Structure 1
Amino acid sequence: MKIEEIKRFWEEKERELLSPYATLSSQSRGRKYPEAECDLRNAFQRDRDRIIHSKAFRRLKHKTQVFLSPEGDHYRTRLTHTLEVAQIARTIARALRLNEDLTEAIALGHDLGHTPFGHAGEEALNEVYPEGFRHNEQSLRVVDLLERDGQGLNLTWEVRDGILKHSKTHSSTLLCSEEDLPATLEGQVVRLADVIAYVNHDIDDALRAGLIREAELPRNSIAVLGSTHRERIDHMVKDVVLSSINSDRITMSQETREATEELRSFLFQRVYFSDEQVRVRSKAKRLIKDLYLFFLEHPDFFQKECSFCLPKEVSLDRIICDFISGMTDRYALYMYKKYFLPDPWPQQGSGPGSGEANRKAE
């Protein structure tokens, strides 16, 4: 059997086994820049692999999920969040006979544009950058333009659509309008898997941090969804599957949706905007804003730090926004220390030749 025959075999299996509502890899709308197909992998597998091998994906391991620069080893990062979203999304996609490769690619790429310090960094850039900033739009910009020194990853239309439309805000509900709805069911799966993942792992991390106690979780939600982390994820996933079978929409039952919304509201009130988190978030926002304004006022310093290869027509403030949003938490702290904090003077007798200098002084 030849390599290309293996690929054709699996494309035929897609047509044979997947739901009529699934997105077939052989029927992708294609890429912005046409290129030769891989002999072995389908289009969505190639997208997944390109995302995994990207620099932006590797940086996710040092970006905050909720808790800024946590000392404990078991708190989630933006990378572990991404992996949990991918796992949940693939489980749902397989149960509904949707395209797992497309689902996984969207899930792995959905947060590539997230800022350092989580949503605090996103809010800061949104407040200082004139055109506004949203991490889902930045994720698309990363894969379209910023990766590979300005060449981008040239992903398929379906993956790009799912990345752009995955995002939810505090005020939005779990069910989005037709205008915000991802074009594929696989994209809709990732959108809900994102919520399922962060609602549950943020509760887990908040309990570990001592911000909340089990007894404080909303009783109605717990009665519906379950009293443990495992039970809640299991209930939500199964509910999405059962509510979406043989449907052209990915959804939840009303009871589960309302219980999940209540948990989300609880997290915003008690965790994301708790007094302690507000204090820490304000520090992070100040850091991001100071870096942005400093580089804008001192383009000579920025040029030394930035190695972006972007078209000349891209404005300085846009490039600065790209640069800062791509930082990890620790790199942002390093840059802030470099430009805003004084270097400590060496202690007497600690530097090269200091012994001789001290003897001469005596």
Structure 2
Amino acid sequence: MAQSLAAFACRAEAGKGRCHPEPESAYRSAFQRDRDRIVHAQAFRRLEYKTQVFVNHEGDHFRTRLTHSLEVSQIARTLARILGIDEDLAEAVALAHDLGHTPFGHAGEEALNEVMAAHGGFDHNVQTFRIVTDLERRYAGFDGLNLTRETLESLIKHNGPVREPVPSAIRAFASCWPMSLDGQGSAEAQAAALSDDIAYTAHDLDDGLRAGLFDFEEVRELPLAGDVLRDLERRHPGLERRRLVQEVIRAIINRLVVDVIEETGRRLRRHAPASPADVHAMPVPLVAFSAELLPDFQAVRAFLHRRMYRHYKVRRMQYKAGDVVRSLFRTLSDRPDCLPDDWQDRHARTPPSSRPRVVADYIAGMTDRFALAEHRRLLDPDTLTR
């Protein structure tokens, strides 16, 4: 395996170890074990009932955080294999990158960030880090998942270097177990990040078309997507709508992936990184879209923000979802005796100044349907008679 990797790839056998030392596996690399621990985590299973844009009960075929994470991991594996970097590390980052999301997508995160403004705010990327280093409670010898330093650094830097001010949770962990917070992320982290961009852009187009938030006539006017649509209509005239949607999305993903591969090849020739350290020190990311395609990609993103994320039907749903999260936070902060027993214990053991974070952790871990059920149990008087 090691011989097939590029010189700038991360290597499990040359890794920096884990915060809590453990014996190596005879059959799995350290990065394979990281990936497997993420898949078996409770937070990963809960992604099945956490949404991207639509609330979970809106329809069976819209993306959830789980299906999105699986789609990101598929693209990340493809990029990693072609670029000669570690597939297991890229896949681990792809599968873990959304663990910290709240119920109800970005609406839930915005609401939780609002109510936590006086207590450090809330950010799903930081919450992902807290989950894998502390909040998962599965193992006898440590809290969290005890991932390798390479996986942790790739997770916190998959969107680029960690800028000041460094979030307190990351700063506290790094002070006990030093990590590199500046510089570019690993090539594997960058591949996972671009895979995320590719997956959610293409698949939000898919979900928006299926939900009827916009139609093909609007997509036809977009760069990239419009080119793909016109080409498919020429080659497959009269193709039924359902198949046409699927073919458009498939072709968009392919164009984006090919562009990343070709642009990364150009950057490899220009910068010639000979080690992971060289990747960290590069003035620009190694894995990237080309300058020619990027404006077209950004135009599609702007269209989705305007016609999908800001659509009045989505905004109505987001408004109600945010209200659920804010109400849960206020109620459980005022009445921590309404928390489940284990969370009450955690709340009682925590210094008063940090107790809002415990309530936020409890809410952030909820799925959409559990948050709605908990809201009914706590705040709907009719449930007293049911």
Indicate whether 1:241 and 2:261 are aligned: yes
Q: Which residue, out of 23, 28, 53, partners 2:40? A: 53
Matched residue pairs, number?
325
What SS class does the counterpart of residue 211 from structure 1 fall into?
A: coil
Name the counterpart of 1:144: 133
129-138 vs 294-303, greater mean Cα deviation:
294-303
- Which position in structure 2 is the counterpart of 1:79? 66
Give SS of 1:154's match.
coil
Q: So what's the TM-score if we normalise by structure 2?
A: 0.79
Change in 2 beyond 3 A, CA 1:297/1:313: closer
> Contact 1:31–1:155 at 8 Å: present in 2 too?
yes
Q: CA deviation at 1:226?
A: 5.9
The CA distance in 1 between the partners of 2:26 and 2:222, in whole Å, is 54
The question of whether the paired residues in 2 share the 8 Å contact of 1:113 and 1:139 is answered with yes
1:153 and 1:311 mapped to 2: Cα distance?
A: 24
| Contact 2:224–2:252, Cα closer than 8 Å, also in 1 | no
Q: CA deviation at 1:49?
A: 0.6
Choose which of 318, 342, 348 in structure 1 pairs with 2:357. 318
CA contact (8 A) 2:102 2:124 kept: yes
- Of residues 195, 198, 203 in structure 1, which corresponds to 2:197? 195
Q: Distance in 2 between matches of 1:181 and 1:213?
A: 42
Q: Could you tell me how far 1:165 is from its partner in structure 2?
A: 2.9
> Once the two structures are superposed, what CA deviation does each residue of 1:3-46 show, in whole Å capped at 9, x if it has no partner?
xxxxxxxxxx31x2111111111111221111111111111000
Q: Given the alignment, which residue of 95, 99, 102 partners 2:86?
A: 99
Residues 1-362 of structure 1 aligned to structure 2 (within 5 Å): 13-14=1-2, 16-129=3-116, 130-148=119-137, 151-167=143-159, 182-217=184-219, 218-223=221-226, 228-245=248-265, 246=268, 248=279, 249-302=286-339, 304=341, 306=343, 312-313=349-350, 315-343=354-382
Letter of the 1:337 counterpart: R
SS in 1 for 2:381: coil
- Equivalent position amino acid for 1:136 in 2: N
Residue type at the aligned position of 1:188: Q
Corresponding residue of 1:355: none
Contact 2:9 2:187 in 1 (8 A): yes
Aligned 8 A contact 1:68 1:117 in 2? yes
* Alpha-carbon offset, residue 304 of structure 1: 3.9
Shift of 1:181: 6.1
State the 1:221 CA deviation. Answer: 3.0
Over 3 Å counting, the alpha-carbon distance change for 1:138 and 1:234 in structure 2 is: same
Matches of 1:50 and 1:124, distance apart in 2: 30
Change (3 A) 1:22 1:76: same
- Say if 1:225 and 1:236, in contact at 8 Å, map to a contact too: no
Report how far residue 117 of structure 1 moved.
0.3
Closer, same or farther in 2 for the Cα pair 1:180/1:276, shift >3 Å?
farther
State the structure with bigger RCO (CA 8 A, min sep 6), 1 or 2: 2
Structure 1 stretches lacking a partner, 5+ long: 1-12, 169-177, 348-362
Deviation at 1:159, TM superposition (A): 1.3
Unaligned runs of 5+ in 2: 161-179, 231-247, 272-278, 280-285
Separation of aligned partners in 1, 2:49 and 2:368: 6
Deviation at 1:186, TM superposition (A): 0.3
Deviations 1:106-136 (A, max 9, x none): 1111111110000111101111112111101
CA RMSD of aligned residues (A): 2.3
Distance 1:41 1:310 in 2: 38
Three-state SS of the structure 1 residue aligned to 2:24 is coil
TM-score by length of 1: 0.84
Q: CA deviation at 1:300?
A: 1.5
Task: Please say which of residues 64-73 and 101-110 is displaced more in the overlay.
Answer: 64-73
Amino acid at match of 1:258: P
Matched-pair contact (CA < 8 Å) for 2:223–2:300: no
